[in-house]
Chain A
C-alpha cells in the first residue's frame, strides 16, 4: 500500500509542477541545443536528452531543438536516439547552447518489439518487421492496419472497393489454417487480442510484425497466422507539447460496373422497356463524400512520470450516400516510476464510440441492372407500364429486382460500437536487470446492429409489413499476465537474457437477437419493438446466446548474444484452452533461432551489416468456437404433444473430446544487409511452413460411432482435426531500400518490398484417415462450396482444391465462342462429342485461373526538397484472376432477364444470349494491377524563433489515384476470401468479385498539423 500512496503523492507533485512550471526555474540552468545526424546533418526529431542519474530529461522537437532546465551542479548530458549510438557530453560551465551530432548505430540499431519484450534489431534472429510512424501510409486512414498496407513483405492487406465500414482482409504469408483465425493475432501495448477499434490510427507509434514461427511461437496457440504488435504513442519526458492535426477529405466514385447507359439500354432491350427517363443510377446512388478528421493530443512528462492524452474524431462519409460513420476516440496513457525506478506503473485507458450507417450494398447490384428509363420516384405509374410505385418508389414486380435508390432510402442498417480498454501494468525491479511485471487488462466491445425495413419496401419489408431486427453483442477480453525478465552481462560484448511468464485469458461473448415484423408505422423503426404485432402472433424471433472460453499459458525464453556476433534465441510456450477436447487440453510450442553477423568477418568497409539468421518454430491455432468438444442439449423446434406445441431439446451437434490445436512448423532463413554506409539496406527471407491437424467441419456418417464419445454421430459434420492433408506455404520476401540522396536540401529514399507465397494443400500419406478432407472415391479433390448463386447458379461451385495443388483454383468450363442460337460454346476438353454439364467435377471443366496472386509489390518513394516533403507509394499484385460475377450474370442479352440492364465491358457481345447462364472462363479475368496507392506532398513552415508554435505542416495527399490493370471489373484487388456471406467468409474460395461489392473510389485530403 505504501507504494501506491507514494505514487499518488508523486502524481500530485507532477500535476503541481506541470501547472507551475513557468515559475519553478529557480536555482536551475537552462540548456538548449540541436541534435543532428552525423552523416547527413539532418536534425533528429524526438531524440532523448537526459541528465544522467536523474529523471530530468526532454526530447527534441521537430527541428531537432531541445531546451532543458537542469539542476545546478549538473556536469553532463546524455543523448540517445533509436538507431544511433548514445553519446554523453560534458557541460562546460557557463555555456548554455550545444550541438550534438550522433553517429548511426552499428546496425541502424532500432528497437524492435518482440513478444514480451524488446530487442535491438542487431539481436533479432527471426523474421520481424518493424514499421515506425514516419513510414506509415498517409491520407485518410480509418483502419489501423491500412497504415502499413504494402509496407511489410509477406503481409497482405486487401480492402476492395470504397466501403468506409469494411475491415480489410489480412493475410500474413498466405493461408495456414482452415479454422477461423486466418488473420494475425493483434496485440496492442501487450494486450493480446485487443480490438483494433480501441486504437485510433493517429495514436500508433509503431507496428512490429512477427512473421515466422520462431518469432511468433512465444504466443503459442493463436500465432499460426502471425502476430502484429501495435505500440501506441507515449508521453515523453520534458516539456508538455500539444499537437493538433486536422484533415479534410473528398472522395469520389472512381469506377462502377461498366453498364449500358439509358440510350444503349433501349437499343439493346428494345423500346418496349423504354419508359422515358434517362437516369444514371450511379449518380443517384453516390455523392462526393466529405470527411473530416481531428486529432488532438497533449503529452509530456516531468520527473519520473509521463503522460499522453488524445482525442480523435472522425466523421467520414461514404461515396454511396447511405454509408458513413462517425467515431470519437479518447486515449490516456500514464507512466510513473517510484522508489528510484524500482517500481513502475503503466496505465492505459481508451474509449471509442462509433456510429455507422452501414446501409445495404445490394443497392450497387441493383443499380447495375435496374431499368434506367423508369422514373425512380412518383406516385402513379402510367397505365400499362410494367412498373408501379410502391411507397413512392418505382418498382418492377420481378424476382431479385429492386429500385436501387429505394433500398437505402426506405430501409436502414446501422451499427453502434462502444469499445473500452483498460490496462495496467506494474513492473518491479528488485535487483538490477531483473524486471517482474504483472499486467491486467480488460477490453469491452459492445456492439449493436439495427436494421429496419419499411412496410412499403419491396426489398425486404413489404411482405412482413415492416420488419425490425436488432443484434446486440458484448465481447469481453480479460487478460492477466505475469512475466519476469532477467539479463546478465557475461563479458563486455556477450550477454544472456531470460524470460519466464504466466498468462491467463478469459474471453466472453454475449449476444441477443430480436427480429419482428408487422409494425403499425415506419416512424418508430426499431426504437420500440412494441409497435410490432409479431410478438402477439408468435412470428417474432427472440434469442440469446454467447461463448465462453479460457486460455492458460506458461512460457519462457532465453536469448544469448556472444561477442555481438553470434545470437541465439530459444523459447517454449505451453498453452491450454477450454476449447480443446478433454483429451488434448494443452499444447507445447517450442522455437529456436540463431544468427551470425558475417560483417564481422569481412574487412570491406562498404559492408556494414550482413546478418544470416535461421529459425524454426511451432505455433498453433485454436478452434473458432466453443462447445465443439462437449456434448450438450440444444433447443429444437416444438413438439406437438397431446394437442399442444411444447419445446423439444436434443443433441444436435457432434462432440469431439479429441479436438486439439492446429499445428504449424515453420522454417525461416533470412539475411539482413546494410552496405555503403547504411545507404543500401535490406533483408531477404525464405520460409517454408507446414500446418497439420487442420481444424475443419468434416462430414461424418450420421448414426455411426463417434469413437471419441462412445456414442454415435448425431449430425452430418464434426469439428475435427483433418488427418489426410496439410497446408504448405513457401515463399520469399525481399525488402530493399536505397538512399539515393540525403542532404539538407534534397533527399530521396526509395524502398521496394516484394513477396511471393504459394499455399498448397498437400496430402498426407494416411491410408484410412478418420477425418478426411477430400471427398469422393479417389480421395484427391474437394469442391469448395461456393457458387455464383441465385438466380439459377446455385450448386455450381466455382473452385476446386486438389491434393498437391495450390488453393484458389478457379475451375470451370472453357469458353470458345457463341453458337448460332446465342448460347455459349464450350471447349470439349475430353473430346467426347458433347459437354458434360455437372454441378461439380466434369471432364469438360478445367482450372482457368487462380484467385491468389503469385507475387505482390510495394514501392515507396520519400522525397524531401528543403521544406517540402513528398511521398509516392505504388502497390501491386500479380498473377491472380478474378471471377467477375457482375459480368457472369449481367453481360448478356438473355431473354429471361429481359428487363435487366446489361454490363458492357470490352468483352460484351450482343450476340450472346444464352438460355441458361453458366459460369465459364469468359468471366474469369487476369487481375494483375499496379495502383498509385498514395501520393502526398507537404510543406513544413519555417517558424520564427519566438513562435509559440513548434511545428506547422500542411499536406495534400491522394489515395488510389490510378490503376494500371486489364481487369474490367470494379476493383482488381485480391479477394482473399469469398465474402458472399460477410459474417462467415469462405477462405477456400478466393478470387470471386461478387455483385454486391462496393464501388471503387478515389480520395484527396488536405491536412494541417500544428504542434505547440
Chain B
C-alpha cells in the first residue's frame, strides 16, 4: 500500500508559507505535483516477474477486437465484400448510411468504422513500439526473446495497415518518434514488414503448444510473410509468388499442423486445442472481451434460441449468391431450418431452444411474404431502405453456446492451416499456371473435409470461391477479392466500383490530427 495521501504540509508550515508568501511572494507550500491514484506510476512498474509479464500482455490484449468486432477493421473486411452485408432494415441499421456505402464501395473518409480501424491498428503499433523499448529498459536480458515477438506483432499490424490503407506513416519508435509523421509509400512499408519478418522468423518459438497458441510464434510470422508475398503484386506491383511458396512450404512441410476432421472444431467454443490453429485471439467472455459476432448478426428473437444474456442486434447477414455458392452436401452450408447441426449459417425456419417451438417476430413487416414466423431467407429483398427484418442467412460459423454473453468465449483464428493450404495452392497456380494439378489436390483436400464434391479443374475464380467458402467471416475476403480481381466487379446490389476503392480512405480525423497525411487518391 502506498502511504495515505493526507496533507503533505502541516498547518504550521502552511502558516509560515502564508506569511512568507505575503511578505516576499515565495512559491507555494505544496509542490502541486500530480501523483498516480487508482493507477500505477509509470516509473515504478514492471520490476517483478509478474509485472514484467503483465507489461508484455498489453501487446497481445491490443489484438482483442481485431476480428469479430463491430464497426472497425473486421466489419470493413467483411461488409465491403460479397459475403457479408448489413442491410438497412427499415428503422434499424440506417446509421447515417455507413454500411450501405461500405458495401457499395462508396465509403467516405469520415466513416466511423474506418477511423476506428485506423486507431485500432495504430494502437497496436504504438503499444508494440513502446514495449520493444520499455522491456529492454526494464531488463535488457529478459527482454530479448520478447522483443522479437513484439516485432512480429508490429509486423502483423502493419500488414493490416498496408492491406487496408496502403500508404501510411511508418512509425517504429516510441521515444523520439516524429510529430506529424509523413506518409510512407505502400511499397516502403511493405519492404519494411518483409525485412522485419525475415530477420525475426529464425528467432521465434517454433513450438506448437498452448504457450505459442495465442502468441507471435514462428509459424504465425511465416503466415504474415506468406500473405505479404502473396499480395505483393497488389501492394507493390512486383509479384513474389515464389517467395510465398517457399515460406508456405517451410511451414507446411514441418508437419506440425493438420486439418481438423471436423471443420467446426476450429470455431466451437472449446476450440483452443484445434490442430489447425497457427495463431488465434484467445477470446473469453470475461478475461478477453471483444468478440461480439452473436450480437452483430443474430435476430432479436434468436435470443430465445440461444438464451443469450443480451438481445442481439439483427444486423449482419450473408448474401444469397454467396450462400448458394455452397453445394447442399457441403457441411459448411448446413441445412435450412436445422439449427442443431453446426454450419456456417443460420437459415430457414428458426426455433426456440427446444428446437420445436417456432419463433415469431411480432414486428415483422406486413409486406414480408414470410410473415411473422421467423425465417432467415437467404434472399434479402433489398439492400436499403426496407430490407425485411428476417431477411438474410446469418453468420453461425462460430458456435453460439447456450446463454452466450455479448462477448463470446470462442477463440478467433488469425491464421489457420486450411488457409495455409489454400495459399500454397494459389502460389502454385500463380507460378505454374491456373490449372496446376498440385494446387487442385490441395484445394480438394480442404473441400473433402467438408464433404464437398471433388473439383476437377481449378481457375482463379474457382479458387476465390473456395477461399470464400472456407474462410467465410474470418476477415480476409476483402483482400482476397482484390488480389483475385473481383473487387471492382458487381454483385447483388453492388455496382462496379473504381480501382481506387481498393484502398480505404485515410480517415478525416487522422488528417485533422496529422496534417502531413496524404489522402489516398480518389477520395
Q: Give Cα distance in the complex from A502 to B19, angstroms.
A: 9
Q: Is B129 an interface residue (CB 8 A)?
A: yes
Q: Are A640 and B288 neighbours in the complex by a CB distance under 8 Å?
A: yes
Q: Pick the contact of B308 from A396, A463, A700, A896 — CB < 8 Å?
A: A463
User: Which residues 638-654 of A have a CB within 8 angstroms of B?
Assistant: 638-643, 645-651
Within 8 Å CB of A396, what residues of B?
Answer: 362-363
Q: Are A463 and B363 neighbours in the complex by a CB distance under 8 Å?
A: no
The segment from B169-177, B251-259, B433-441, B495-503 found at the interface with A is B169-177
Within 8 Å CB of A631, what residues of B?
Answer: 42
Within 8 Å CB of B11, what residues of A?
Answer: 480
What is the distance, in angstroms, from B34's C-beta to the closest C-beta of chain A? 4
Q: Which residue of A lies closest to B389 (CB)?
A: A896
User: Which residues 765-786 of A have a CB within 8 angstroms of B?
Assistant: 768, 770, 772, 774-777, 779
What is the distance, in angstroms, from A435's C-beta to the closest C-beta of chain B? 15
Within 8 Å CB of B519, what residues of A?
Answer: 777
User: Which residues 555-596 of A have a CB within 8 angstroms of B?
Assistant: 576-580, 582, 585-586
Q: Are A639 and B61 neighbours in the complex by a CB distance under 8 Å?
A: yes
Q: Which residue of A lies closest to B44 (CB)?
A: A633
Most A CB contacts (10 A, CB to CB) among B53, B213, B512 go to: B512
Within 8 Å CB of B177, what residues of A?
Answer: 703-705, 711-712
Q: Are B33 and A640 neighbours in the complex by a CB distance under 8 Å?
A: no
Q: Which residue of A lies closest to B94 (CB)?
A: A792
User: Which residues 66-99 of B have a CB within 8 angstroms of A?
Assistant: 88-98
Which bucket holds chain B's interface residue count? 35 or more
Q: Is A397 an interface residue (CB 8 A)?
A: yes
Q: Are A838 and B97 neighbours in the complex by a CB distance under 8 Å?
A: yes
Q: Give Cα distance in the complex from A530 to B88, angstroms.
A: 44
Q: Give Cα distance in the complex from A123 to B287, angstroms.
A: 65
Q: Are B60 and A794 neighbours in the complex by a CB distance under 8 Å?
A: no
Q: Are A632 and B36 neighbours in the complex by a CB distance under 8 Å?
A: yes
Q: Is A714 an interface residue (CB 8 A)?
A: yes
The segment from B21-29, B227-235, B336-344, B413-421 found at the interface with A is B21-29
Q: Give Cα distance in the complex from A838 to B513, angstroms.
A: 22
Q: Give Cα distance in the complex from A567 to B123, angstroms.
A: 59
Q: Pick the contact of A703 from B18, B45, B97, B122 — CB < 8 Å?
A: B122
Q: Is A673 an interface residue (CB 8 A)?
A: no
Asked if A712 meets B126 with Cβ closer than 8 Å, knowing A397-B301, A792-B91, the reply is yes
Q: Pick the contact of A795 from B89, B112, B181 — CB < 8 Å?
A: B112
Q: Is B261 an interface residue (CB 8 A)?
A: no
What is the distance, in angstroms, from A411's C-beta to the closest C-beta of chain B? 16
Q: Is A624 an interface residue (CB 8 A)?
A: no
The segment from A331-339, A360-368, A538-546, A744-752 found at the interface with B is A538-546
Q: Is A897 an interface residue (CB 8 A)?
A: yes
Q: Is A701 an interface residue (CB 8 A)?
A: yes
Q: Are A585 and B32 neighbours in the complex by a CB distance under 8 Å?
A: yes
Asked if A554 meets B21 with Cβ closer than 8 Å, knowing A397-B301, A777-B511, A792-B92, the reply is yes
Within 8 Å CB of A794, what residues of B?
Answer: 95-96
Interface string of B374-408 (1 = CB under 8 A from A): 00000000001110010000000000000001000
Q: Which residue of A lies closest to B122 (CB)?
A: A702
Within 8 Å CB of A401, what residues of B?
Answer: 363
Q: Are A582 and B39 neighbours in the complex by a CB distance under 8 Å?
A: no
The segment from B218-226, B240-248, B365-373 found at the interface with A is B365-373
User: Which residues 889-914 of A have a CB within 8 angstroms of B?
Assistant: 889, 894-899, 914
Q: Give Cα distance in the complex from A586 to B21, angstroms.
A: 15
Asked if A639 meets B60 with Cβ closer than 8 Å, knowing A839-B111, A916-B384, the reply is yes
Asked if A502 meets B91 with Cβ closer than 8 Å, knowing A632-B36, A897-B363, the reply is no
Q: Is A195 an interface residue (CB 8 A)?
A: no
Asked if A638 meets B112 with Cβ closer than 8 Å, knowing A792-B92, A895-B365, the reply is no
Most A CB contacts (10 A, CB to CB) among B9, B29, B360, B515 go to: B515
Q: Is A715 an interface residue (CB 8 A)?
A: yes
The segment from B190-198, B309-317, B456-464 found at the interface with A is B309-317
Q: Give Cα distance in the complex from A639 to B50, angstroms.
A: 12
The segment from B278-286, B318-326, B474-482, B483-491 found at the interface with A is B278-286
Asked if A637 meets B289 with Cβ closer than 8 Å, knowing A796-B95, A916-B384, the reply is yes
Within 8 Å CB of A601, what residues of B?
Answer: none
Q: Is A627 an interface residue (CB 8 A)?
A: yes
Q: Pick the contact of B108 from A478, A838, A889, A897 — CB < 8 Å?
A: A838
Within 8 Å CB of A294, what residues of B?
Answer: none
Q: Give Cα distance in the complex from A580 to B174, angstroms.
A: 24
Q: Give Cα distance in the complex from A672 to B488, angstroms.
A: 73
Q: Are A399 and B300 neighbours in the complex by a CB distance under 8 Å?
A: yes
Within 8 Å CB of A649, what residues of B?
Answer: 40, 45, 51, 54-55, 57-58
Q: Is A547 an interface residue (CB 8 A)?
A: yes
Interface string of A685-705 (1 = CB under 8 A from B): 000000000000011111111
What is the distance, in angstroms, from A709's C-beta to the closest C-beta of chain B? 9
Q: Are B179 and A707 neighbours in the complex by a CB distance under 8 Å?
A: yes
Q: Is A143 an interface residue (CB 8 A)?
A: no
What is the distance, in angstroms, from A128's C-beta to the closest C-beta of chain B? 26
What is the distance, in angstroms, from A383's C-beta to the closest C-beta of chain B? 12
Q: Is A387 an interface residue (CB 8 A)?
A: yes
Q: Is B303 an interface residue (CB 8 A)?
A: yes
Q: Which residue of B lies closest to A541 (CB)?
A: B286
Q: Are B362 and A548 neighbours in the complex by a CB distance under 8 Å?
A: no
Q: Is B508 an interface residue (CB 8 A)?
A: yes
Asked if A840 meets B96 with Cβ closer than 8 Å, knowing A578-B33, A627-B37, A641-B53, the reply is yes
Q: Give Cα distance in the complex from A362 to B169, angstroms.
A: 46
Q: Give Cα distance in the complex from A796 to B290, angstroms.
A: 24
Q: Give Cα distance in the complex from A288 to B266, angstroms.
A: 61
Query: Chain A contact residues: over half helix, strand or loop, or mixed?
Result: loop
Q: Are B91 and A791 neighbours in the complex by a CB distance under 8 Å?
A: yes
Q: Is A482 an interface residue (CB 8 A)?
A: yes
Q: Are A648 and B60 neighbours in the complex by a CB distance under 8 Å?
A: yes
Q: Are A699 and B513 neighbours in the complex by a CB distance under 8 Å?
A: yes
What is the distance, in angstroms, from B227's C-beta to the closest C-beta of chain A? 22
Q: Is B199 an interface residue (CB 8 A)?
A: no
Q: Are B32 and A578 neighbours in the complex by a CB distance under 8 Å?
A: yes
Q: Give Cα distance in the complex from A714 to B515, angstroms.
A: 18
Within 8 Å CB of A705, what residues of B?
Answer: 176-179, 181
Q: Is B210 an interface residue (CB 8 A)?
A: yes
Q: Is A464 an interface residue (CB 8 A)?
A: yes
Within 8 Å CB of A576, what residues of B?
Answer: 28, 32
Within 8 Å CB of B45, what residues of A?
Answer: 633, 649
Q: Which residue of A lies closest to B411 (CB)?
A: A640
What is the distance, in angstroms, from B35's C-beta to the closest C-beta of chain A? 7
Q: Is A382 an interface residue (CB 8 A)?
A: no
Q: Are A703 and B57 neighbours in the complex by a CB distance under 8 Å?
A: no
Within 8 Å CB of A547, what residues of B?
Answer: 37-38
Q: Give Cα distance in the complex from A546 to B5, angstroms.
A: 13
Within 8 Å CB of B300, what residues of A?
Answer: 397-399
What is the distance, in angstroms, from A138's C-beta to the closest C-beta of chain B? 44
Within 8 Å CB of A637, what residues of B?
Answer: 61, 64, 287-290
Within 8 Å CB of A422, what residues of B?
Answer: none
Q: Are A839 and B96 neighbours in the complex by a CB distance under 8 Å?
A: yes
Most B CB contacts (10 A, CB to CB) among A397, A651, A703 go to: A703
Q: Give Cα distance in the complex from A634 to B285, angstroms.
A: 20
Q: Are B58 and A463 neighbours in the complex by a CB distance under 8 Å?
A: no
Q: Is A710 an interface residue (CB 8 A)?
A: yes
Q: List 11 A-B contacts (CB under 8 A).
A: A585-B32, A630-B42, A631-B42, A632-B42, A638-B287, A648-B58, A703-B129, A795-B95, A795-B96, A896-B89, A897-B90
Chain B residues close to A by CB (< 8 Å): 5, 7, 9, 11, 14-15, 17-18, 21-22, 25, 28-30, 32-42, 45, 50-51, 53-58, 60-62, 64, 88-98, 108, 110-112, 119, 122-123, 125-127, 129-130, 169, 171, 173-181, 210-211, 213-214, 282, 284-290, 300-301, 303-304, 307-311, 313-314, 360-363, 365-367, 372, 384-386, 389, 405, 508-515, 517, 519
Known: A703-B177, A796-B94. 11 other contacts (CB 8 A): A482-B14, A546-B37, A641-B53, A641-B57, A648-B61, A650-B61, A701-B181, A703-B122, A795-B95, A916-B94, A917-B91
